[in-house]
Amino acid sequence: MTVKILFVCLGNICRSPTAEAVFSGLAEQQGMLDQLQVDSAGTSSYHIGENPDGRATAAAQNRGYKMSHLVGRQVKREDFDNFDYVLAMDNANLRDLRRNCPAVHQEKIQSFLKYGQRFQETEVPDPYYGGPEGFDRVLDLIEDASQGLLDAIKARC
Ligand code: 4NP
């Protein structure tokens, strides 16, 4: 059975493509990628068709994750039908997703960092207007929550 996961942030050029790349990378290392379908999207239309932010790509590359090929898109209605997990990076993303999702699929929407184990944060902070250290913090949080999510999926299969 394929488990389908959609990571969501505002622009789909910093946090959610990072989550897509990191989660896919860890899943591949652990022999799980062929059981998964992984994608990302933004709640906004700001960056449709764009590759990820160069700062996010560079920070991910430093840790061995490739994401420069990804292309920004906006969340669409069918995503709520098609995916099993719709994972929000922050509380604004969570609210926007819940507002647009049919009642029958509301339980698919969760905060991604609920799968985190090592850090106190409940949101992945938006790094767009900050410095390079913000992108490393995003990676720390996303690596931790990705491993937690992989463990949760292993436990359910
Ligand atoms: P993301 O970061 O939601 O992690 O992709 C942002 C990207 C773009 C903007 C804000 C956040 N923006 O305002 O254009």
Domains (range + CATH), the chain: 3-156 (3.40.50.2300)
Closest-CA residue, ligand 1 atom 12, reads 11
Task: Residue 83: name the closest of 105, 100, 67, 112 by CA.
Answer: 105
State how far the Cα of 44 lies from the Cα of 41, in Å rounded to an integer. 9
Secondary structure letter of residue 130 according to DSSP? S
Strand ranges (DSSP E) for the chain?
3-9, 36-42, 85-88, 109-111
What residue type is assigned to position 102 of the chain?
A: P
pTM greater than 0.95: yes
Q: Is 15 helix (H, G, I), strand (E, B) or coil?
A: helix
Query: Model confidence over 108-157: pLDDT tens digits?
Result: 999 999 999 999 999 999 999 999 999 999 999 999 999 999 999 999 87
28-81 confidence digits (pLDDT tens) = 999 999 999 999 999 999 999 999 999 999 999 999 999 999 999 999 999 999
pLDDT in tens, 104-113: 999 999 999 9
Residue with the smallest CA separation from ligand 1 atom 6 is 11
Choosing from 9, 53, 55, 101, which is the catalytic residue? 9
